[in-house]
Amino acid sequence: MNELHARLREHGVTCRVETRERLAILIPAAEFSPSVEDRQLLLKLARDEGLTHVALELDPDGAALLRD
């Protein structure tokens, strides 16, 4: 998902991107409260990369992430 990460940065969204099948999980580097328009853009960019859903991690320090 390096392409999605790069496209997000072009739009001023600094975050780590993790994927689970067709879900993009965005883990922002700082507090991020996207507007409706921002959320629509995030979803469009993800869909352009073949993903169907986007989740925004609200508490990256306390997130329960799956590990292999």
pLDDT in tens, the chain (68 residues): 579 999 999 999 999 999 999 999 999 888 888 999 999 999 999 999 999 999 998 876 665 666 65
C-alpha distance from residue 34 to each of 21, 28, 43, 65, 66 (Å): 24, 11, 12, 22, 25
Q: State the pLDDT at residue 65.
A: 60
